[in-house]
Amino acid sequence: MEIRLIATQIGDRLKYDTSVNEINRVGQSILKVRKESFANDSITSVRAQEVYNWIMTLGKTSLTKEERNKRLVKFCMELAPDEQKGSISEFLIANGCDYNAVNKDHLNEFYSRNYHPEIIRHSKKLFLQQNYFHSVFESAKAFNYSVKQKAQSDKDGQDLMMSAFSLNGVLKLNFGMTETERNVQDGVKFLSGGLMRAVRNPTAHEPALDWPINKQECLDFLSMISFLFHQLDKSIYYNG
């Protein structure tokens, strides 16, 4: 693992997105080492130097490779804003950090939900990067697109869901002959419309910092969208 390069580059990438106090707080709580100082004439930012010192200290501490990787990834991901998590994780992997091994438990938690294949396709990578906001957003967008295609509709978002899954809509979940069947149809309509109103619309218009989504919320949101994808799979297009 190219620890010196990682220490220099991570510090440079994060110097505008955090504070010295935050760097030291995260370093103490996650890296669990006694920080030392390391001279580097190419670093001119105090915050970049602090990140460099923490990572270099971790690099010289006697730990197993797996434990060092685990602490390094958690440190970097905790400091990184959502829009940088993806590029930083790719950088760590490219420079010898076994990111997938570190995130083994994270991945198991994701797969334990038995998500619809579309959720896995659109959200797994973002979830592993701890980019929970965009993991949910991409799955909500994918569901909207799939409904739009199957309903052959020009509508979008909440209007699309309320139209396509209505009792008079083109996506039929059942025959609609009994009160129970009609309630099921209405239920999926309102859940789908609610998803668009509660998730897709806010995430499309709000910065991630203004509406943070934690891991548990992300898993729960994805479970809801997965359920709706399965309902969409069962639906029949009928424009009678």
- Specify the pLDDT at position 66: 86
pLDDT digits (tens, 9 = 90+) for 97-145: 876 666 777 788 899 999 999 999 999 988 988 888 889 999 999 999 9
Mean pLDDT of the region 192-209: 71
If pLDDT is split at 50, 70 and 90, which confidence band does 209 have? very low
Q: Give 55's contacts (C-beta < 8 A, 6+ positions apart).
A: 3, 6, 7, 10, 11, 72, 75
67 pLDDT more than 80 = yes
Query: 57 and 31 in contact (C-beta within 8 Å)?
Result: yes
Residue 102: both structure tokens together: 């570190």
**Alpha-carbon span 35 to 211, nearest angstrom:** 33
**Alpha-carbon span 87 to 168, nearest angstrom:** 46
Burial of 166 (0-12, 13-18, 19+ CB in 10 A): middle
pLDDT digits (tens, 9 = 90+) for 24-59: 999 999 999 999 999 999 999 999 999 999 999 999
pLDDT digits (tens, 9 = 90+) for 154-182: 999 999 999 999 999 999 999 999 999 99
Mean pLDDT for the chain? 90
Checking DSSP bridges between strand 171-172 and strand 236-237, what pairing results, if any? antiparallel
- Specify the pLDDT at position 16: 92
What Cα–Cα distance (Å) separates residue 127 from each residue in 69, 137, 181? 18, 11, 35
Q: Of the candidates 132, 154, 140, which has an alpha carbon nearest to the alpha carbon of residue 211?
A: 132
- Specify the pLDDT at position 206: 53
Mean pLDDT of the region 65-86: 87
At residue 55, what are phi and psi to the nearest 5 degrees?
-70, -40
Nearest-10 Cα torsion for 40, 41, 44, 48: -10
